[in-house]
Structure 1
């Protein structure tokens, strides 16, 4: 099986020391990316760790496909104990970081401890340098990039950066790279912020990069097809489906009070495409689906917004002007905040104030959240789950994570996915939504969908471990993925199952069980409790949602999903 190569680099920012560890056995069993980072986190983060404490560890990891020139591989994974969900969470970002990271020769970099002052860490192929950067305290993301360019001749493609939100321990702060690409969900920017790590840079001349031979066919075919395709996604990104979803399913509106937004056209794909002024891509990718946008009249320039941001700062807040959404998107990038959690949290506040549609107020509140300097901002920086009672609104979260746009009250399989996902109400964990939007699965009902849900979760682990972009599905098929990783598809699903079990097992030890696998609108999703039990049965877990201690690697016939059989 093709796997990432290179040692683990542990960076202790308390003592400002580093250590290398041979993790070849872990990589052989878990490929790289999310799978390898989760296996390490399961072993090395104390189960009673404080997410804000020095004992929490953050993992940045790459996979074997970052050694290729293939499209859809310009991504990396990050994993840590989440301050938002209080469980293990992984998230990934695109841009141009992954190959600069690979040039250092490491497969995984682990951050532990806490610095007593703002710190930049420079990881090179010939060593690690620690730089105190008190002058960057409170700096926005692009200002940090400017500093690194001036002082170290490094661009934003070399950096991961924490904005003011991470420094001030906003629970949904993101880690930014290339200024506008986010390791977004789960508050992992807060983890680095709690360690007083403002920026980490990666650079090398390529001589330390591990030699990994990725199969040319199908990688060359994927690259050619990505370059020549005429998908609407290449023009409009994920916003291209906004009006379709609004008209045929549901676009959560005014903090989930409504299912349809009357101004969807004003924030949808055509509106975004009208503001797009050039092409944008990730490292080595010919698909070029990113969205550099600008509005000259209001002086706004950003990258995006993508669909989830259009929902969070558009329909969910009752805002129908794409330029307002663009401004919020850029503000979140500069301050370092997940646009989904930030937008939904602000929407909850607008509901409490009967102020839907007030985009200027929304931006004012965003700044207060990032600084925590006002009572209002300090409350909202905790996220909806911890703030909803004070606001007098419903707690629209799962495991403390705010919902993505795809409404589980209409897409019942997606609702089940939100309920059981170890990461919470995130649409990328399993992605049942695509099957239900397309009609491959009937959106109605939850029963009988557990086995397919298991398959989608397991496959997405491999996607995030390769590491492959989520938008590569039509190009990097299951057959091609197995060929690229030089193993059979059932073996990949088996690895995915073991990673999901480790996430769940770690969270179980922190007190998470069936009580956390629910929905705030459970009465609108048929047979949810029974479907959750079907899911546990398929996974081989206990009825209370826990993984038996001796079952992390013992899989049932359905635990790898969709009718495949493990060969343990």
Structure 2
């Protein structure tokens, strides 16, 4: 079995680190990573706890395929109660940290309490200790990671840490590993900051040697890699262009939310697209994109490494931003760009680098800026309040807002609240494009009906990675469905949500699902863990995880009233593109979705559903 079989329980209040065996019954029922960590959280945490109190808990978790030769087997998740939403938060990251934890011999780390002073957790195989981090508090991610490596004289240590945004409890603060890979959404970094925990640093040299059937596992993973290599998305599109390949595609189908969802197409999309990133600049003849990059064990390599034009205003007298670093993903490019009407690629990269450097979610940040720009144009907010003129399209305002949010100064503290709290504070709650307090990703829920339903029902607030129906509705994977149709979308959303939960919990990247179905994942898990992990069982595991998360949220106080989209998507029709004239059909889809889920009209899993899933 490829679980390590143990977890590390860290009590920050007491300053203790204790090893415990993993509950293997739960591991068989929830697999690992997202599923198993969420099971521990819901069993141990009062759903009504204040997310930023010492009573909240945080769990870093790997899956059974993390650290193995399975393609993309480097993922880990951070599970907690999220401060942005008040709902269960599960944020996923790639890079190398997850594999390092597994190779140190741990499936997960549970963090409890609050340290009286800043500390970081250092794990070296079986040894774990809390170390004073007073000298690191106030430092950025880019300063913290090398400082820890230097202190321990080991460049191969992997670090998962917060920057100043987490320390300042920006409600969408992220946890960053490997300098620019992030558990990015729902404010998990703010919870870490509230506990005075600066970093979790890991060095593992044990490897993952407890595969049930090594020969069968090698054959299954080899077959899986061949499927990925032969697929147009995972074998060509993502390696060549990264997720940014979607910018022009989504704009053409008229589903690119623009200027805080006032429009669905952006004239400047071509200027901030993957193609633009790869085109040599007129100023220096060099392309914005330097190279692509892969996470641990990944055969797709969708990551981008980019370099800002040295002459750009954003980095004048700022040499630290003149080196190549983590480049724009599609969601970040949209949130920092189209959502604000900004088509300056270099400005987007500067803001993106600040999100990495100080650890905050570019999606929530960019979408919050979009709401601010709309309120500025309405006259609700002024230059005096903001510190700068901030009309839609202002690259200078975008860069300025990124800096003051990172620093936590002036209006940056307001921006750190997220759009739901900020718009409510200024009397314009309808201008927050969010669900359960979490901002939308880069697809319009009017024009693409399934993703609108997925946003409304996501357990962690608006999210594309909890049921990526774009694969079907736009890309035709695994089958093509019409974006504007509401019929059949409840079934589609449920299927994607359940399958995604299983992929996440295995410890692999959701991007594999462009090519793989659970029929490709099952043989790998069977060879690694046990024959019981059939396609049917994995589907049930995914459904069990989804309902467990939903039940936690219900007990935290969420109801069917929270499964709503903003008024704009329900009443203001798309103005251009193939979906012109459409609004969301959520009211038609939601009751059917509840019925298919086995929930009552208030969105609560029925006793029969809970019993069937063993909840």
TM-superposition CA deviations, 1:518-548 (whole Å, max 9, x none): 1002335454223111111111111111224
Q: Does 1:54 align with 2:54?
A: yes
Q: Does 1:531 align with 2:579?
A: no
Contact 2:41 2:57 in 1 (8 A): yes
Residue segments in structure 2 that go unaligned for 5+ positions in a row: 280-287, 312-321, 378-390, 527-532, 574-582
Q: CA deviation at 1:551?
A: 4.1
Q: 3-state DSSP class of the match of 2:474?
A: helix
Counterpart residue number, 1:356: 392
TM score, norm. by length of structure 2: 0.86
* Change over 3 Å in CA distance of 1:155–1:182 after alignment to 2: farther
Q: Does 1:522 align with 2:558?
A: no
Q: CA deviation at 1:514?
A: 0.4
Counterpart residue number, 1:199: 199
Q: CA deviation at 1:110?
A: 0.7
Q: Does 1:428 align with 2:465?
A: yes
Q: CA deviation at 1:295?
A: 2.8
Q: Does 1:342 align with 2:344?
A: no
Contact 1:102 1:209 in 2 (8 A): no
Q: Distance in 1 between matches of 2:6 and 2:502?
A: 20
TM-superposition CA deviations, 1:233-278 (whole Å, max 9, x none): 1121011121121112221111111111111111001112232222
Q: CA deviation at 1:404?
A: 0.2
* Change over 3 Å in CA distance of 1:444–1:510 after alignment to 2: same
2:489 is aligned, of 445, 449, 459, to 449
Counterpart residue number, 1:73: 73
Q: Distance in 2 between matches of 1:463 and 1:384?
A: 30
2:291 is aligned, of 278, 298, 304, to 278
Q: Does 1:252 align with 2:294?
A: no
Counterpart residue number, 2:317: none
Q: Distance in 1 between matches of 2:323 and 2:265?
A: 28
Counterpart residue number, 1:488: 534
Contact 2:100 2:204 in 1 (8 A): yes
Contact 1:226 1:287 in 2 (8 A): yes
Q: CA deviation at 1:515?
A: 0.5
Contact 1:38 1:503 in 2 (8 A): yes
TM-superposition CA deviations, 1:181-217 (whole Å, max 9, x none): 0101111011111101001111122168655546222
Contact 1:508 1:547 in 2 (8 A): no
1:471 is aligned, of 482, 506, 511, to 511
Q: Tell me whether 398-407 or 11-20 shows the greater mean CA deviation.
A: 11-20
2:407 is aligned, of 371, 381, 391, to 371
TM-superposition CA deviations, 1:462-493 (whole Å, max 9, x none): 11011111211244332111111222211111
Q: CA deviation at 1:496?
A: 0.9
Q: Distance in 1 between matches of 2:69 and 2:408?
A: 43
TM-superposition CA deviations, 1:494-528 (whole Å, max 9, x none): 11111111111111111101000010023354542
Residue segments in structure 1 that go unaligned for 5+ positions in a row: 556-565
TM-superposition CA deviations, 1:338-383 (whole Å, max 9, x none): 1100111112112222311222222222222233332x22222110
Q: CA deviation at 1:287?
A: 2.1
Contact 2:17 2:129 in 1 (8 A): no
Q: CA deviation at 1:82?
A: 0.4
Q: Tell me whether 403-412 or 484-493 shows the greater mean CA deviation.
A: 484-493
Q: Tell me whether 443-452 or 114-123 shows the greater mean CA deviation.
A: 443-452
Residues matched between the structures, number: 555
Contact 1:162 1:193 in 2 (8 A): yes
Q: CA deviation at 1:290?
A: 1.1
Q: Distance in 2 between matches of 1:150 and 1:52?
A: 31
Q: Does 1:110 align with 2:123?
A: no
Q: 3-state DSSP class of the match of 1:73?
A: coil
